[in-house]
């Protein structure tokens, strides 16, 4: 005789597998954001390499191919065929395991990204050439400010960073910009302060490690 736990899992296991991992990811992101707001911490923006159009297109093609393959598998599972029930269940379980692993990776990455910004290494100042400045309105997914494209030869070439509360001097696209850079605990480079020429500019507070 099956136990109540086994019976419940047989009835609800699929729903738990589908909606449980995304719920854990959302809850973790909310908790991390809550901790940041409660502690008054301002996470510094990342200085990221500018996207290569060819590389971005390759990733789009990979994503389309993966979505097509997944759609073909779902179609095979749903259509009437001579395939055995056991084979269908095995493929379905495999897809469910893959789904859970993807979201588990997202949970780990969210925690790692948060810790990466909280454990900044000692900062240094770097003078970079300003290539372009674009005003970026605030949105749900991005902070507002100025998206600055800078040429940083020592860091590998063209980079971008979004600076909040830009000054008029910055919006006029100065020739150069002095950035205060700090490496993350695990990877990446973050801007903890900046200035145009010798003019004072806002400094992004560093969070304690």
pLDDT of 27 above 90: yes
Helices (H) and strands (E) in the chain, counts: 4, 6
Structure tokens at 20: 């449980």
Q: Judge whether 144 and 136 are in contact, CB under 8 Å.
A: yes
If one counts every other C-beta atom within 10 angstroms of the C-beta of residue 191, the result is 24
Number of CB atoms found within 10 A of residue 23's CB: 12
Model confidence at 92, pLDDT cuts 50, 70, 90, reads confident
pLDDT in tens, 5-22: 666 666 677 788 888 899
Q: Write the pLDDT tens digit of every residue in 111-141.
A: 999 999 888 888 899 999 999 998 888 776 6
User: Which domains does the chain possess?
Assistant: 4-40+80-118 (no CATH), 124-195 (2.40.50)
Sequence-distant (6+) residues with CB within 8 A of 182 are 44, 120, 121, 122, 123, 124, 189, 190, 192, 206
Q: Is the pLDDT assigned to residue 104 strictly greater than 90? A: yes
Q: CA angle, corner 97, sides to 91 and 100, nearest 5?
A: 145
């Amino acid at each position: 005789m099956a136990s109540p736990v086994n019976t419940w899992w047989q009835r609800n296991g699929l729903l738990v597998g589908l909606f449980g991992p995304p719920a854990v990811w959302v809850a973790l992101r909310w908790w991390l954001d809550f901790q940041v707001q409660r502690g008054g911490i301002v996470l510094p923006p990342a200085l990221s390499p500018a996207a290569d159009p060819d590389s971005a297109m390759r990733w789009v093609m990979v994503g389309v191919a993966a979505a097509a393959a997944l759609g073909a598998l779902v179609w095979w599972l749903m259509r009437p065929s001579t395939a055995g029930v056991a084979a269908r269940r095995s493929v379905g379980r495999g897809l469910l395991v893959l789904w859970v692993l993807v979201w588990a990776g997202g949970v780990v990455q969210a925690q790692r990204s948060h810790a990466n910004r909280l454990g900044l290494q000692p900062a240094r100042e770097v003078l970079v050439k300003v290539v372009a400045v674009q005003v970026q309105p605030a949105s749900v997914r991005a902070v507002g400010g100025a998206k600055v494209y800078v040429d940083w030869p020592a860091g590998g070439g063209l980079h971008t960073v979004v600076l909040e509360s830009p000054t008029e001097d910055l919006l006029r696209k100065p020739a150069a910009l002095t950035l205060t850079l700090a490496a993350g605990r695990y990877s990446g480079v973050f801007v903890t302060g900046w200035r145009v020429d010798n003019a004072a500019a806002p400094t992004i507070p560093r969070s304690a490690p």
